[in-house]
Amino acid sequence: MSENNQTPRRKGPPMGGGRFAPGEKPKNFKGTIRKLTGYIGIYKIPIIIVMVLAAVATVFSVAGPKIMAKATNALFDGLMRKIAGTGGIDFGYIGKILLFTLGLYIFSSVVSFLQGWIMAGISQKISFRMRKDISEKIGRMPMKYFESRTYGEVLSRITNDVDTLGMTLNQSITQIITSVATLIGILVMMLSISPLMTLISLVILPVSGALLSLVIKKSQKHFRTQQEYLGHINGQVEESYGGHTVIQAFNKEEETVDDFCRTNDILYKSAWKSQFLSGIMMPVMTFVGNMGYAGVAISGGMLAIKGVIGIGDIQAFIQYVKQFTQPIQQIAQVINQVQSMAAAAERVFEFLDEEEEEQEPSDPVQLDNVKGNVSFSHVSFGYVPDKIVIGDFSAEVSAGQKIAIVGPTGAGKTTMVKLLMRFYDVNSGTISLDSTDIRRIPRRKLRENFGMVLQDTWLFNGTIMENIRYGRLDATDEEVIAAAKAAHAHHFIKSLPNGYNMVLNEDASNVSQGQKQLLTIARAILADSKVMILDEATSSVDTRTESLIQDAMDRLMSGRTSFIIAHRLSTIRNADLILVMRDGDIVEQGAHDELLARNGFYAQLYNSQFESA
């Protein structure tokens, strides 16, 4: 059995031949496996059924050659009788045995198919549930988690790790069972045929084992170098590709190529060594295998002459010997797989166990008809407790007012936004909406009351209509169109192929940056939130679109309390309150004229624009 089941779908390392490459190791193997067992616990009964089926299929297919040996024996005996003239070949008997063996094989195949079918179902359901759990978890995670990690990292958990897990689960559980069952089964069968021959064939095991481990030990080092330098090469290519014009402009082409060649050379040397070593593995193993084969044939022949065993037994024995080393190799491989599975599972569980934002306050307040009064009273906050960036900030904002947040890059302008939306909580003091502490409003409810238009527009793969409607899901088509008109988006939408039904592609690259912004404004208008948070910078937009966006934003802000991360002086001047940020702290606050009169940081910032160069 299992002549070739290591071939299907294994993602080897990119350079192939990585069968003996070192696998990834989890930090806490036992703990992770325990957690994983708990996670898949609800499938306990089907998994036990799968295990039983796998064992049954193996036993039957192992028994095959031994039973078929009877047919060969009968054939040989019949031939002898024929030569001696005492009778002939008993075809009836041989036929019966062959049919019986065929039945056995068919049964074994059906059982093993069934087992594969059920296991695929289980492992896919587990992967499905895991992806779902991760996705739901993402919604409950605090902002700071994502700020310290790249999107790729989080994404790789949903895709790669869950994939590895599902695939390994699918294969390894059954493979462990079948390998062990095959090993024991074959040993029993071999012993039942001839203990002497079994001994002879077992002698080759330690020999091949020693050879194998020698080669693996030698090649492991080179495999590691190969992996490492493959990473370096990728990094170098990415970097020089990304900085291509700079390299050209600074005449650095030759040096870059030289650098690359040095890395490439190391990769070449380690790759050929590792490939060569794993390449000689097969011939060595075959040679050892054939030695055993010859030993079995000679001893078997001698035993047959003595009449201890039949010809068919030798044939069966040879088949068993050929299969014997396979389960051993497989077990080694499965152990490797299980280890990388555990590493993947560990990362997934680590993510699932991350600290969450608490979802519901203990005494939630239902806010209806929000007016949009926001007040800050003695707010102090720091990303790390001992480094306060906003200390004792108080301000009253009444409904409909405009608050501009200004300051140099990196001054922490988004901090205020994050506090308002409760991505972070204040350390002391309170922020309240319509005189209710925002910490007493359920996060979901709170965020519903804020509309956001940010520089990084977020649109999804769907029609324009759906994208705008995302602001308020129960809006009618008319309402969506009205919102688009108010946002100056109607005109350009009409000029697109299919108009409102045009499907935006995955990264919305089939509309321009400015158009995207108009769409998100339309969405915010539709949502009709009482408090708006806007980010004004429109540096990548042409002037005409910019004035459209400006106008749309002005409309959006009228009648709503709005917090604007402002860059344009006209917006800033019209603001009811200006918060001036510097190095994460609010250094000044007040209206435009007031701040100018104070002649402080704001005045400096404002005037700097007109200094001559």
Partner 1 sequence: MEEERFDKANRDLMGTQLFTNRTMAFMFPGMMLVMYGVTLTIVWVSAHRIDEGTLQVGAMTAFITYSMQIVISFLMLTVMSVMLPRAGVAADRIEEVLTTETVIVDPESPEKAGTHRGEIHFSGVSFRYPGADTDALENIEFTASPGKTTAIIGSTGCGKSTLINLIPRFYDVTEGCITIDGMDIRKMAKSELRDMIGMVPQKGVLFSGTIGSNLRFGRPEASDEEVRKAAEIAQAMEFISSNEEGFDRSISQGGSNVSGGQKQRLAIARAIVKDPKIYIFDDSFSALDMKTDAQLRKALGAYVKNAAVIIVAQRISTIMNADQIIVLDEGRIAGIGTHKELLESCGTYQQIASSQLSESELEKSTGGGSNE
Provide the minimum distance between the beta carbon of 546 and partner 1 in the complex, in angstroms, as a whole number. Answer: 6
Judged by CB under 8 A, does residue 366 bind partner 1? no
**In the numeric block, which tokens belong to residue 34?**
């325990």
Contact call for residues 327 and 184 (beta carbons, < 8 A): no
Judged by CB under 8 A, does residue 1 bind partner 1? yes
d(CA 226, CA 149): 27
Among 542, 65, 99, CA closest to 322:
65
Provide the minimum distance between the beta carbon of 438 and partner 1 in the complex, in angstroms, as a whole number. Answer: 23
* 3 vs 363 by CB, closer to partner 1: 3
DSSP string, 90-134: -HHHHHHHHHHHHHHHHHHHHHHHHHHHHHHHHHHHHHHHHHHHH
* 45 vs 249 by CB, closer to partner 1: 249
Contact call for residues 239 and 259 (beta carbons, < 8 A): no
* 132 vs 378 by CB, closer to partner 1: 132
Q: Mark residues 32-61: x for contact with partner 1 by CB under 8 A, - for none.
A: -------------------------x---x
Q: What is the 3-state secondary structure (H, E, C) of 123-147?
A: HHHHHHHHHHHHHHHHHHCCHHHHH
Determine the 3-state secondary structure of 447 from DSSP. Answer: helix
Provide the minimum distance between the beta carbon of 29 and partner 1 in the complex, in angstroms, as a whole number. Answer: 26
Give the footprint of partner 1 on residues 408-437 (CB under 8 A).
408-410
Among 229, 306, 226, CA closest to 261:
229
Determine the 3-state secondary structure of 431 from DSSP. Answer: strand
Provide the minimum distance between the beta carbon of 77 and partner 1 in the complex, in angstroms, as a whole number. Answer: 11
* 406 vs 433 by CB, closer to partner 1: 406
Give the footprint of partner 1 on residues 594-613 (CB under 8 A).
604-605, 608-613
Give the footprint of partner 1 on residues 304-333 (CB under 8 A).
311, 315, 318
Q: Which one of residues 96, 144, 555, 568 is an interface residue with partner 1 (CB under 8 A)?
A: 568
In our burial notation (b when 16+ CB lie closer than 10 A, e otherwise), range 126-142 reads: bbeebbebbeebeeeeb
Judged by CB under 8 A, does residue 75 bind partner 1? yes
Judged by CB under 8 A, does residue 569 bind partner 1? yes
294-299: Cβ within 8 A, 24+ apart: 295/200, 295/201, 295/203, 295/204, 296/197, 296/200, 296/201, 296/321, 299/194, 299/196, 299/197, 299/200
Amino acid at 562: S
Provide the minimum distance between the beta carbon of 375 and partner 1 in the complex, in angstroms, as a whole number. Answer: 29
Judged by CB under 8 A, does residue 95 bind partner 1? yes
Give Cα separations from 67 to 190, 196, 313, 318, 381 (angstroms): 13, 20, 9, 14, 80
DSSP string, 332-368: HHHHHHHHHHHHHHHHHHHHHTS-----S-SS-----
* 236 vs 436 by CB, closer to partner 1: 236
Give the footprint of partner 1 on residues 99-138 (CB under 8 A).
101-102, 105-106, 108-110, 112-113, 115-117, 119-121, 123-125, 127-128, 131-132, 135-136
How many chain residues interact with partner 1 (CB under 8 A)? 94
* 102 vs 207 by CB, closer to partner 1: 102
* 329 vs 550 by CB, closer to partner 1: 550
Judged by CB under 8 A, does residue 94 bind partner 1? yes
Judged by CB under 8 A, does residue 31 bind partner 1? no
Judged by CB under 8 A, does residue 541 bind partner 1? yes
* 85 vs 206 by CB, closer to partner 1: 85
Q: Which one of residues 300, 372, 407, 451 is an interface residue with partner 1 (CB under 8 A)?
A: 407
Provide the minimum distance between the beta carbon of 362 and partner 1 in the complex, in angstroms, as a whole number. Answer: 25
**Angular region, 563: left φ>0, alpha ψ -120 to 50, beta rest:** beta
Provide the minimum distance between the beta carbon of 547 and partner 1 in the complex, in angstroms, as a whole number. Answer: 5
Measured at the alpha carbon of residue 49, what is the angle toward residues 44 and 50, in degrees to the nearest 5?
A: 95
Q: Which one of residues 88, 209, 279, 364 is an interface residue with partner 1 (CB under 8 A)?
A: 88
d(CA 324, CA 194): 15
Judged by CB under 8 A, does residue 302 bind partner 1? no
Q: Which one of residues 50, 53, 54, 68 is an interface residue with partner 1 (CB under 8 A)?
A: 68
Give the footprint of partner 1 on residues 188-217 (CB under 8 A).
none
Q: Which one of residues 235, 279, 364, 559 is an interface residue with partner 1 (CB under 8 A)?
A: 235
The residues near 400 (Cβ < 8 Å, ≥ 6 apart) are 372, 559, 560, 561
Q: Which one of residues 86, 148, 245, 495 is an interface residue with partner 1 (CB under 8 A)?
A: 245
Determine the 3-state secondary structure of 41 from DSSP. Answer: helix
DSSP string, 144-186: HHHHTS-HHHHHHIIIIIHHHHHHHHHHHHHHHHHHHHHHHHH
Determine the 3-state secondary structure of 579 from DSSP. Answer: strand
Give the footprint of partner 1 on residues 148-177 (CB under 8 A).
166, 170
Stretch in the footprint of partner 1 (CB under 8 A) among 37-45, 250-258, 437-445, 590-598: 250-258
Judged by CB under 8 A, does residue 243 bind partner 1? yes
Provide the minimum distance between the beta carbon of 409 and partner 1 in the complex, in angstroms, as a whole number. Answer: 5
Provide the minimum distance between the beta carbon of 177 and partner 1 in the complex, in angstroms, as a whole number. Answer: 15
d(CA 398, CA 435): 11
Q: Which one of residues 252, 269, 445, 447 is an interface residue with partner 1 (CB under 8 A)?
A: 252
Determine the 3-state secondary structure of 484 from DSSP. Answer: helix
Give the footprint of partner 1 on residues 457-516 (CB under 8 A).
460, 470, 473
The DSSP secondary-structure symbol of 502 reads P
Stretch in the footprint of partner 1 (CB under 8 A) among 20-28, 236-244, 381-389, 489-497: 236-244
DSSP string, 215-255: HHHHHHHHHHHHHHHHHHHHHHHHHHHHTHHHHHHTT-HHH
Provide the minimum distance between the beta carbon of 394 and partner 1 in the complex, in angstroms, as a whole number. Answer: 26
Provide the minimum distance between the beta carbon of 67 and partner 1 in the complex, in angstroms, as a whole number. Answer: 11
Provide the minimum distance between the beta carbon of 544 and partner 1 in the complex, in angstroms, as a whole number. Answer: 7
